[in-house]
Amino acid sequence: MIKRFFHSDQGVHYQNKRLNKFLKKNHITQSISRKATCLDNAVIESFFHLLKIEIGNNFSTKEELINSVRNWIYYYNNFRIKTKLGGKSPIQYRKLVS
């Protein structure tokens, strides 16, 4: 099972009953960091920066955006090499260390 997280440094998100109900129903774990602590968010900020740059922003429909994000995440995990992972994709690296 894939573990999913909802992360924010804004505590107001965690007081929203509708959001909490949605997250629980969809088995999404809440994660929060201290406000304005950029090091807590550095990894995910970097990930979303790459995502935005590499998929662009020319989408006519919500479905086009969703498909582009899904395809990019598949590419990122399976084919995009990372220097920090010894020139391997995340999936290749995970197979080596497990």
pLDDT at 17: 86
SS3 56: coil
User: Range of 58's domain?
Assistant: 39-98
My answer on whether 49 and 30 are in the same domain is no
90/75 Cα distance (integer angstroms): 10
Q: Which of 45, 46, 64 is nearest to 55 (CA)?
A: 64
Domain count across the chain: 2
The 3-state secondary structure of 68-94, one letter per residue: HHHHHHHHHHHCCCEHHHCCECHHHHH
Q: For residue 50, give both structure tokens.
A: 């790459």
Q: Are 44 and 74 in the same domain?
A: yes
Which token pair is 95?
């197979």
Q: Are 27 and 4 in contact (CB under 8 A)?
A: yes
Which pLDDT does position 42 carry in this prediction?
75
pLDDT > 70? residue 96: yes
pLDDT digits (tens, 9 = 90+) for 57-71: 999 999 999 999 999
- Please write the tens of the pLDDT for every residue from 8-35: 766 666 678 898 899 999 998 877 665 5
Task: Check residue 85 and give its pLDDT.
Answer: 92
Query: Is the domain of 2 the same as that of 24?
Result: yes
Same-domain check for residues 46 and 90: yes
pTM above 0.75, yes or no: no
**Residue 1 and residue 29 in one domain:** yes
Give yes or no: residues 44 and 90 share one domain: yes
